[in-house]
Structure 1
Amino acid sequence: MKRKLIAAIGIAGMMVSIAACGGDDGGSDTGADGFKGDTLTVWAMDGSTPPGWTKDLTAEFEKQTGATLKFETQQWDGIQQKITTALSEENPPDVIEVGNTQTPAYAATGGLADLSDLKSEIGTDWTEALNESSVFDGKQYAAPWYFANRVVIYNKKVWADAGITDTPKTRDEFFTDLKAIESKTDAEPLYLPGQNWYFFDGLTIGQGADLVKKDGDKYVSNLADPKVAAAMEIYKEYQSFSDAPKDKDEATPQQADVFAKGNVGAFIGMGWEAGTAIAANKAIEKDIGYFTIPGETADKPEGVFLGGSNFAVAAGSEKQELAKEFLKLALSDKFEGALAKENGVIPNKVSLESNLAANPAAVAAAPAAAFGGTTPLIPEWAAVENDPNPIKSYMTAVLNGKSPAEAAAQVEDEINKRLSQTS
């Protein structure tokens, strides 16, 4: 999960002050002298630990354990190699924030401690979709911390001009609304470039599709699967309402900057992107609204890619028990709820989503979290997404007229080559 997720929420004015939250207090019965004299080192990414949450958690942890809590802020740029190196050293940081899709790679090296006992103790009601990335080879190597996913960010004025009075609850209703904008206004109904790869990944999740499959003892591309093709056909229908280039992604140009001009009905993006639009055109702030990406039926939102972070304990840490005391407290209802409230991120259990009430983008994102997923949770996957991403090429080929099967055949050799690379 990128630093900008948190930073731009502030630009949009969507961050709210922290307040006391309900639920358990976490922690243990160890007592204030149980770990007296110890220091627990936690690596957390820039932007992940807001000041109110960090101050209160540190005070509570030190009161309960007698130990000192030391947060060391890390930057996303170059973090994978830095963590890999740290985990191989004799004195690694004790607790590490790791990107959810990066977790399997660290677990595969043997660098993370098995937290299965912690899961049994405090994680029985973690949202299953959010916990999946913390599990590798059937063992719990991390704990789900916070998440975010895409929503529909729309221009209320454009929708009103088209005579639309409510937000859609199904995919077909969404298409109907986009057709109304197309026929009744001069606005571009939806800004969707051809290579918004993470939205496409969400559609594959919604179709129950897997992007890889096992072939003997190795993974290979599953892009030719009819379920993947069905997801791509849905994407193609969405993209038919857009004038965006078919061979670019959402950052080229920044889709929020396009939306900021005021002549686009909607785009699909992260909640913080509204802040980018407002920074480009303050006048548009009053017209911005959000809704959950609708699925085939009203009772189940569209599948979404879940970006986020897990907490892991270094296998080489000599403070395993103290690290677990930290996780019990940091992931307790009190502090997990407080983080959701202060940073506007999706908490690791549904019962804590009420903490998002003051953040409309997060409220729109939360319903889809339970139906979300990630890219394939295998160490080999990282190479597939390296530029030039062959799946983006697949998407453009389909949008330019090739069948999904033909487009898949063009890129699967490259995907398989990357999947066979050793990490």
Structure 2
Amino acid sequence: MFKQRNVVLLFVFAFLLSLFAACGDSGSSGDANSGNLTVWAMGAEGDNLKALADDFTKANPNIHVTVQAIPWSDAHSKLLTAVAGGQTPDVTLMGTTWMPEFAKMGALDTPPSDIDQNSFFPSTWSTTVYNGTSYGVPWYVDTRVLFYRTDIAQKAGITHAPQTWDELLADAKAMQQKGGAKYGINLGAKDWQELVPFIWQGGGDVYKDGKFTLNTPQTVQALSYYQSFFKQGLTPSSAPQNFDGIQAFVQGTHPMFISGSWNISAINQKSNGKLDGKWAVATLPKQNSMTSFVGGGDLAVFKNSSNKAAAWKFVKYLSQPDVQQKWYTIMQDMPAAKAAWDSGTLSTDKNMIVFRNQLNDAKAPPAIVKWQEVADSIDTNMEQVMLGKATPEQAAQSMQQNAESIGTGD
């Protein structure tokens, strides 16, 4: 028994030691001007990043960059496995809500001092920060604005985009009753990324000063306001299987929705240009503020990279305004670097100017390890309200209780 116990203890010790080695600062800085880099990127970004990597290699011929494209659906588990096994890439694209989890593990390097956080939108830089320390650099950003059909608005007697909560509700009614649309707006019954900005706009929050703050008058107000669109039949209570919200917008049945810039190209493609001049985007309507959600993707360098200096050089290259502008032409990913918006298409395109203005009032979800679990609870309770199975007060209380039970994981 004694020997068996010793064997078990030795195994546990060895396992913990291996994890420490994997997550610790075991890699050397290396040479900033040479070496081999492995970069993981997800989805379409992974499919297209090679174009920028090739440009980087032309300018830095002694640095070879290999880009591995990974589906978003596999990325989180693949990153966890890589960290546990000490076989990470040098650089990775990281979902903004994943940053706290990997930072807590000790797996990520901190940016060098010559990366200026003030060159990025404050809301995007905040997605890299965990417990007061940054563990990456914002690469691309997304935020949500209001898409609306100007032709249907005009038919309904609406002369400008809604600027307040009251105007948004009134415009939805007018588009349905006077504009001939089936609904006034398309809202999700189970989408925290749509609901939480209404909490922020009303002066509330979901997490502040180390505590969850979901059971508040501001959360009840946001739920009640959001619910009014469902109660009055201004948005569908549920979406049929394979529902295409963009097609519904193009057809005019759902003349408003809240979403990101990727839908601009989707609208143009589905309408074949027939909607040109008949739709627009606007910053979110205001209550106390017009705060929107901000997300996107961050770039992180792993601590156990054998060539961190070259890895950060590549990250800094991707952060250059001219490179970010080129990436926008390739992917339509909005730049996280503020200077990238000061010239070229991004400075003149009327739709992108709206997104730029919205980024001045946008906020990221709290940087806590278990945020996704908390968000799932918000979704569940939110849906109960929209289906009429719970009151806003009951849902806010349940959200708070669930969040406290889940904890932060920090």
How many Å apart are 1:339 and its aligned residue? 1.9
How many Å apart are 1:240 and its aligned residue? 5.2
How many Å apart are 1:65 and its aligned residue? 6.0
Give 2:246's aligned residue: 256
Give 2:370's aligned residue: 380
SS in 1 for 2:118: coil
SS in 1 for 2:151: helix
Distance in 2 of aligned mates of 1:238 and 1:360: 29
Which aligned pairs between 1:32-181 and structure 2 lie closer than 5 A? 35-36=33-34, 38-48=35-45, 51=48, 54-64=50-60, 66-115=62-111, 117-118=112-113, 120-181=114-175
Change (3 A) 1:283 1:344: closer
Q: 2:194 aligns with which of 179, 190, 199?
A: 199
> What is the letter of the counterpart of residue 373 of structure 2?
A
> What is the letter of the counterpart of residue 99 of structure 2?
T
Q: What count of residue pairs does the alignment treat as equivalent? A: 376
Change (3 A) 1:136 1:165: same
> What is the letter of the counterpart of residue 232 of structure 1?
L
Distance in 2 of aligned mates of 1:409 and 1:121: 42
For structure 1, list consecutive stretches of 5 or more residues without a partner in the other structure: 1-32
Distance in 1 of aligned mates of 2:331 and 2:58: 23
> What is the letter of the counterpart of residue 397 of structure 1?
V
2:300 is aligned with 1:312: yes
Give 2:25's aligned residue: none
Give 2:216's aligned residue: 225
Distance in 1 of aligned mates of 2:123 and 2:138: 10
Distance in 2 of aligned mates of 1:244 and 1:176: 13
Contact 1:114 1:141 survives alignment (8 Å): yes
Distance in 2 of aligned mates of 1:407 and 1:244: 20
Distance in 2 of aligned mates of 1:250 and 1:203: 25
Change (3 A) 1:197 1:402: same
How many Å apart are 1:332 and its aligned residue? 1.3
How many Å apart are 1:48 and its aligned residue? 1.7
Distance in 2 of aligned mates of 1:101 and 1:166: 35
Q: 1:291 aligns with which of 271, 282, 291?
A: 282
SS in 2 for 1:111: coil
How many Å apart are 1:238 and its aligned residue? 4.7
Contact 2:282 2:354 survives alignment (8 Å): yes
Q: Deviations over 1:104-129 (max 9, x none)?
A: 111011110122x34x5333321111
Quick check: 98-107 or 149-158, which moved more?
Answer: 149-158
For structure 2, list consecutive stretches of 5 or more residues without a partner in the other structure: 1-30
Give 1:209's aligned residue: 204
How many Å apart are 1:414 and its aligned residue? 3.4
Change (3 A) 1:66 1:225: same
SS in 2 for 1:318: coil
Change (3 A) 1:62 1:68: farther
Q: Deviations over 1:68-126 (max 9, x none)?
A: 122111110121111112123334210110001111111011110122x34x5333321
Contact 1:88 1:111 survives alignment (8 Å): no
Contact 1:193 1:250 survives alignment (8 Å): no
How many Å apart are 1:303 and its aligned residue? 1.5
SS in 1 for 2:40: strand
How many Å apart are 1:268 and its aligned residue? 1.7
Distance in 2 of aligned mates of 1:34 and 1:313: 14
Change (3 A) 1:237 1:285: same
Q: Deviations over 1:153-184 (max 9, x none)?
A: 22222112112233234444434433432442
Contact 1:112 1:312 survives alignment (8 Å): yes
Structure 1: 4+ residue segments shifted above 6 A: 249-252
Contact 2:189 2:382 survives alignment (8 Å): no
Give 1:405's aligned residue: 393
Change (3 A) 1:272 1:325: closer
> What is the letter of the counterpart of residue 139 of structure 1?
T
> What is the letter of the counterpart of residue 39 of structure 2?
V
Distance in 1 of aligned mates of 2:165 and 2:402: 33
